[in-house]
Structure 1
Amino acid sequence: MTATAPATAEMRLRRSGLRPTRQRIALADLLFAKGDRHLTVEELHEEAVAAGVPVSLATVYNTLHQFTEAGMIRVLAVESARTYFDTNVSDHHHFFVEGRNEVLDIPVSNITIGNLPDAPEGMEIAHVDVVIRLRPKQA
């Protein structure tokens, strides 16, 4: 980690309205240090443990959900048993590589979505998530 990384994480937390606790700063630093990516709670917990950050799995889970509520990351439900958290909050879609549990970004400009239904009274569409599932070609 560079000397400026914690300050960047701290500023990101403050801009999102979250108090920059030591654990939040450490997790935000790990989460955003490698650019846009998709992680599960378990993957971030493993990174935290490897980096010497004393944090429980429950704390990572709660922190990622706090980051989501603050608009810092997005939840991506690809499988019923696994939730990914996406550090790229811009409009875009995803490929999911089955068997590898890998999520890849698709730029929103590559997909056109039309004929969306009207939202129910008093509601608006926040965003549309498209997940295209991939698998190796069968011989």
Structure 2
Amino acid sequence: MQDTASQATRKVRAAGLRPTRQRVALAGLLFAKGDRHLSAEELHEEAVDAGVPVSLATVYNTLHQFTEAGMLRILAVEGSKTYFDTNTSDHHHYFIEGENTVVDIPSGPVTVHNLPEPPEGMEIANVDIVVRLRPKRR
């Protein structure tokens, strides 16, 4: 646990953020399990289960701070449902309906053609593709 906390502290500091107790605890939970996709509610539940005293509002604020610092990618998948991705590389996603699960699409097979020109003074920062999946209907 100490090793996880020190790794989380280094990660938070490297992103230019002050390593508060709550940031370090949430970073430890987020990054200890490798690349994954979580909602704020799911991370809050993990924190409560781990005995981390943190409010849902603090989890939201921390996730947005981590996103602004480049530690996470934000994915708006389903209406108001937002997921946070610990893999910040350029990649696309499957969203499995009914399970509310986000899965990375293996790199390579997706190409985007004929993007519109951005308005003057703007540039395209990223293109997020979410392919929605559901079980086949018989």
Q: State the TM-score bracket (shorter-chain normalisation).
A: over 0.9
Question: Where do 1:4-83 residues align within 5 Å?
Answer: 4-83=3-82
In structure 2, C-alpha distance between the alignment counterparts of 1:120 and 1:4, rounded to whole Å: 47
Q: Which amino acid aligns with 1:11?
A: R
In the alignment, which residue of structure 2 is the partner of 1:127? Answer: 126
Gaps of 5+ in 2: none
Cα distance in 2 for partners of 1:114, 1:64 equals: 32
Q: Give the drift of 1:85.
A: 0.5
Aligned alpha-carbon RMSD (Å): 0.8
Letter in 1 for 2:10: M
Q: What TM-score results when the alignment is normalised by the length of structure 1?
A: 0.96
Q: 1:81: how far off?
A: 2.6
- Any idea what SS the aligned residue of 1:110 has? coil
Query: 1:118 offset after TM fit, Å?
Result: 1.4
Q: 1: CA distance between counterparts of 2:22 and 2:103?
A: 28
Q: 3-state DSSP class of the match of 2:92?
A: strand
Structure 1 unmatched ranges of 5 or more: none
Which segments of structure 1 move beyond 2 Å, counting only runs of 4 or more?
Answer: none
- Kindly, what percent of the aligned residue pairs are identical? 70
Q: Structure 1 108/124 Cα, relative in aligned 2: closer, same or farther at 3 Å?
A: farther
Other structure's SS at 1:121 match: coil
Number of aligned positions between the proteins: 138
